[in-house]
Structures are given as C-alpha cells and as structure tokens.
Amino acid sequence: MQEPKALGRVVELVRDLRRRCPWDAAQTPASLRPYLVEEALELDAALGHPDPSHVRDELGDVLLHLAFQIVLGEESGAFGAEDVVKAIEEKMWRRHPLLFPAPAAEGQKRQEGQVGEEGEKGEKPKRVAAAARSWERLKLRDPGRTSLLDGLPPNLPELIAAYRLQERAAGVGFDWPDAQGPLEKVREETTEIAAEMTQGASAARIEAEIGDLFFAAVNLARKLGCDPRAALDRANQRFKERFRTVERLAAERGIDMATAGLDVLDGLWNDAKRAGPGGGGAPA
C-alpha cells in the first residue's frame, strides 16, 4: 500500500533498519514495550514544556515506535499500515455519528455531516461537554464492551485512572452538577479520616479512607477544569524548590537539619516560601 508521505518515510526507515541493523532486526513487539512506554512518558513531559521543539522531537520518537510496530505487524501478517488507519477511521465514524451519519461502504469515505458553530456566548463549552458525554456512551457500542468502565488499560497510572473513571461515569450523567459537590465530599472524607484516627482504626481502614480522599480530590479537580496530574506535578516542583532552599538556608546559618527540630525547620520553610518559587533570594 502507499502510506501518506511522512508516515511512509518513517515506515520505510524502520523496514531499512530491520534489514541492515542486527539490533533492530532482533526486536519483537514485546521487546519494544518498555521503550515505547518510556518515549510516551517523555512526550508527556515535553507537552508541559514551553519549547515546542521538545514536543516535536518526542513526537518523532513516539512515531518511530508506532512505525516499528506497524512493520512488525506487516512482517507477521497480522496487519499493516492500511489496517491500522482503517481501524481508527471506523472507530471515529462510530464515535461521531453526527459528523459521519451515512454508513460507510467498502472503500468509500463516509458522508460528512456538520456541527453548527452558531449559538450564544458560552454555548461552545456546553457543546464540548455534551460531545464528551456522547463519546463515552458511544463506547458501549464497541465490540466486547458491557460497561462504560471497560477498556481502560490495567496499568494506567492511578491518578489518570481515577480521572478517566470519573469522566466515563459522567458520560451517563453520574456526576455532580458543579464543583461544590466534590468539595463537600473532600471535606467529608477528611472528617472520616479524623474519626478513624481517633478510633485507632486498622491500617486497612485508614488506607481505604485515604483512597476515598484522593478519589474525591481528583473529582474536585476535574469539576474545576484542572488536570490533577499537572497540579500534583507543580506541587512536587514547588516542594522540591522550597526544600532545596531550606537546605541552603540551613547550611548558610550553620543549622544541622537532622537535629534542628520541627520548629526551626518550619521557620526555614516559611523563609523559603517568602524567598519565592525558586528560593533565589533569602529574606533578610
């Protein structure tokens, strides 16, 4: 088949590597899994970077791995690039019935519909939300699915899994009308944790309540339009910057952090916060 020009060049590059490089020739779909995961995470990190060249480079690395899996599929006779593209086309047709209302005949594109852009100011977010709910419901039509929660990879990071489970449930209306509901749920969960601590609850009970608190916090972030992963990542970065400032201030003041005690360390922490995000200038 004739792949689109850019994709075709990458696919042909992998074919050439498979012919002439012993390492590339020895690879299998399973052997490449850890590298693909690594590259996907590097792309994820690049998407949070202000320099688009980082995204470009990491997209290239991910594209190489996708092309590699396509070539391996070709070699085994399981599938080729045309099969991969056709599968995603058909999935998008199923998931966007308003855009592609006519059934697709073999070898033909679906008839394209249109979604109007008219509406008062503020209507677009409502349309986006409605489309997202429709998307989740339409997933039930996929072969083998019996629940909206089917299809999430079992090794999905826990924070992402919580967010996606909540999104899918919201697709059928199982959702708070606004952020006030999950905010109250966060408060409820902290109260329950305090009660368990007072009663000397088992580690398992505490773990269950902590899990409920995390889940509620993710739901609150979702309802506020906040990516919980990005929020936690920035919180981690702030902590690292401030703690390193605490270490620097302690060294400058001749304080042994291991023996200083919490009151002294807390004072250094407050100084670090006043010094700014990077802790660039210690307060007088």
- Between CA 61 and CA 274 the distance in angstroms is 41
- What is the percent of the chain where pLDDT is above 90? 63
Sign of CA dihedral 192, 198, 199, 205: positive
Q: Does residue 51 lie within any of the structural domains?
A: yes
pLDDT higher than threshold 80 for residue 140: no
Q: Does residue 197 lie within any of the structural domains?
A: yes
Question: What pLDDT score does 122 carry?
Answer: 56
Contacts 24+ apart (CB under 8 A), 60-67: 62/36, 63/7, 63/10, 64/10, 64/13, 64/14, 65/32, 65/35, 65/36, 65/39, 67/7, 67/10, 67/11, 67/13, 67/14
Question: What pLDDT score does 156 carry?
Answer: 87
Q: What is the DSSP letter of 104?
A: P
Q: Does residue 243 lie within any of the structural domains?
A: yes
pLDDT in tens, 5-17: 888 899 999 999 9
pLDDT higher than threshold 70 for residue 283: no
Q: Does residue 175 lie within any of the structural domains?
A: yes
Task: Band the pLDDT of 119: cuts 50, 70, 90.
Answer: very low
Same domain, 177 and 253: no
Please identify, among 44, 77, 95, the residue that sits at the C-terminal boundary of a domain: 95
Distances (CA, A) of 71 to 29, 57, 88, 122: 10, 21, 17, 46
Please identify, among 74, 95, 116, the residue that sits at the C-terminal boundary of a domain: 95
Question: What pLDDT score does 118 carry?
Answer: 46
pLDDT higher than threshold 70 for residue 128: no
- What is the percent of the chain where pLDDT is above 70? 82
Question: What pLDDT score does 263 carry?
Answer: 97
Average pLDDT, the chain: 86
Question: What pLDDT score does 101 carry?
Answer: 77
pTM higher than the cut 0.75: no
Q: How many domains does the chain have?
A: 3
* CATH number of the domain encompassing residue 202: 1.10.287.1080
Task: Band the pLDDT of 257: cuts 50, 70, 90.
Answer: very high
Question: What pLDDT score does 178 carry?
Answer: 96
Q: Does residue 112 lie within any of the structural domains?
A: no
pLDDT in tens, 197-252: 999 999 999 999 999 999 999 999 999 999 999 899 899 999 999 999 999 999 99
pLDDT higher than threshold 90 for residue 194: yes
Q: Which of 68-72, 125-129, 188-192, 206-210 has the lowest mean pLDDT?
A: 125-129
- ∠ CA 77-81-83, rounded to 5°: 70
Distances (CA, A) of 99 to 87, 128, 169: 17, 14, 24
Please identify, among 95, 115, 140, the residue that sits at the C-terminal boundary of a domain: 95
Domain of residue 77, residue span: 5-95
Q: Does residue 74 lie within any of the structural domains?
A: yes
pLDDT higher than threshold 60 for residue 278: no
105 vs 263: which has the higher pLDDT: 263
pLDDT in tens, 49-77: 889 999 999 999 999 999 999 999 999 99
